[in-house]
Amino acid sequence: MPKALPVVDTSAPVCCAPVAAAPMGEDDAVGVALRLKALADPTRLRLLSLLMARGEVCTCDLAPAVGLTEATVSHHLGQLRKAGLVSGERRGMNVYHRARREALGALVRVLDPDCC
């Protein structure tokens, strides 16, 4: 089984010098790795893609879109939320999710500041 990464606060967008700027410190590397680890799952990438394409989406609508149960989708969204890449808001019995574009943009800039 792979070594588990430490638990750190990833609620704020990643903030460190670009990877190519200088050797990355351990804390910054862990922060980036945790976010990339959350994205390293095909279902999570599909969910993130749906959120980015549709804006705000209820878990009840995401589950049939990816062919999984709401409980499984909630688990994956929880991992993306812990990584600071999505946010959710409860409205009655439903939770509506949206991508945190600023967090995704910050991650892109860390990987390649000349990208976009």
pLDDT at 27 (0 to 100): 83
pLDDT at 9 (0 to 100): 60
All residue ranges of the chain with pLDDT < 70 are 1-15, 116
Residue 12, Ramachandran bin (φ over 0: left; ψ between -120 and 50: alpha; else beta) = beta
Domains in the chain, start-ordered, CATH in brackets?
26-111 (1.10.10.10)
